[in-house]
Amino acid sequence: MGFEYFTPTKVIFGKGTEEKTGELVKEQGGHKVLIHYGGGSVVRSGLLDRICRSLEVSGISYVPLGGVVPNPRLSKVREGIRLCREENVDFLLAVGGGSVIDSTKAIGYGLANEGDVWDFYDRKRTAKGCMPIGAVLTIAAAGSEMSDSSVITNEDGWIKRGYSSNYCRCRFAVMNPELTCTLPDYQTQSGCVDIMMHTMERYFNLNDTMELTDGISETLIRTVMKNAGILKKNPLDYNARAEVMWASSLSHNGLTGCGTGGGDWASHQIEHELGGMFDVAHGAGLAAVWGSWARYVYPEHPERFARFARQIFDLEEDGDVNALALAGIEKMEEFYRSAGMPTSLRELGIDPTDEQIREMAEKCCFFGKRTVGVIKKLDAADVEKIYLMARG
């Protein structure tokens, strides 16, 4: 039961906190900032203007770079690296959700290391540093604002890969829950699934875990489920937005993994291939495959799934631990459906061919170079079966 825990990100949480951006960049010693963002909503809402004003007040100059798409792409990362070099940028500011922050992290690696940035994601080299990053969060989902990870899609082959290191952890994260109030319901619910899954991935493992971590994880999952329901009815509920936003950070900053020995992560790997090939919303993709993954692997550790059923859904055992485990999986899928989330690929709106499924399974396992998951170590044949179960 050993672990490392390192979450250096300074969190500034609450209404109007984006006004402090300039001050926070200044505190970190930044002079010239890349403002990295996605689509036009950041511009239309006036958020970009407010942030620019805050930087100006602190005497910080900036250069904007928009256009980050969901499942952020390597070409945009390369564009960012070139621009920052030309403009002598010394601090990176992500204004957006996980895709924008991940793209920013990749730019940071590219600037602080020689050679091609894709090498890190392709497991060819290890990064030795990252340009300092701050984030103004506009979507509660990925948890990238406090996590050590980033995921980038290489358009050359549509390969989606993650890379993790403490270097890329944000120096600060500005979190104003109001900024998420205008998100469409599908994106809100998809974010909630992503948040829950970051904890569930760590929760499902084969080790003796810590009670304190299990309790925190269960509280987090229940809180997100409850507030996802509130937001379904009233998307403007500030308190519910706040609960979900703070959960997004705590779910993926390492806290819910203390003493769990790493977690499973197979569902994420399986979904990553869907995201690489079909550009689906990450959380929705996770909801679509999780039940199939869970039914495929639960016999390896039914007690853990039974605890999940008891603690998350107040289900009670009737002498049959397997039945309880399955009932918990069924309940989670019911929740996903109530949230308008898919529980199959068909409901996700995609219909991959057998050939595409085989290709995704092979890519997921690096063409035989790795297995995914720890509850059950899955090879390409296992992953293929899970995709087929998830077809719906």
Interacting residues toward a copy of itself by CB under 8 A? 1-8, 10-15, 17, 208, 210-212, 215-216, 218-220, 222-223, 226-227, 238-239, 242-243, 246-247, 250, 255, 258-259
Least distance to a copy of itself, CB of residue 280, Å: 28
Give how far the C-alpha of residue 286 lies from the chain's centroid of Cα atoms, to the nearest Å. 11
Least distance to a copy of itself, CB of residue 311, Å: 11
Give how far the C-alpha of residue 317 lies from the chain's centroid of Cα atoms, to the nearest Å. 33
How far apart CA 390 and CA 346 sit, in angstroms, is 8
The DSSP element (H or E) to which 122 belongs, if any, is: none
Measured from the CB atom, the residue of 141 and 242 that comes closer to a copy of itself is 242
Measured from the CB atom, the residue of 201 and 243 that comes closer to a copy of itself is 243
Q: From residue 116, how far is each of 71, 79, 111, 112 by CA, in Å?
A: 20, 13, 10, 11
User: Using an 8 Å Cβ cutoff, are 268 and 378 in contact?
Assistant: no
Least distance to a copy of itself, CB of residue 241, Å: 10
How far apart CA 33 and CA 91 sit, in angstroms, is 5
Least distance to a copy of itself, CB of residue 135, Å: 14
Side chain identity at residue 367, one-letter code: F
Least distance to a copy of itself, CB of residue 27, Å: 11
Please give the backbone phi and psi of residue 36, each rounded to the nearest 5 degrees, phi first.
-105, 130
Closest CA to 150 of 133, 129, 165: 165
Least distance to a copy of itself, CB of residue 371, Å: 26
Q: Which residue has the tokens 């992503």?
A: 194
Measured from the CB atom, the residue of 83 and 216 that comes closer to a copy of itself is 216
How far apart CA 369 and CA 388 sit, in angstroms, is 22
Measured from the CB atom, the residue of 150 and 213 that comes closer to a copy of itself is 213
* Edge-to-edge strand list for the sheet holding 91-96: 61-65, 32-37, 91-96, 133-137, 172-175
Measured from the CB atom, the residue of 27 and 330 that comes closer to a copy of itself is 27
Extended beta strands in 223-317, E state: none
Least distance to a copy of itself, CB of residue 175, Å: 9
Measured from the CB atom, the residue of 173 and 325 that comes closer to a copy of itself is 173
How far apart CA 333 and CA 4 sit, in angstroms, is 33
Measured from the CB atom, the residue of 10 and 50 that comes closer to a copy of itself is 10
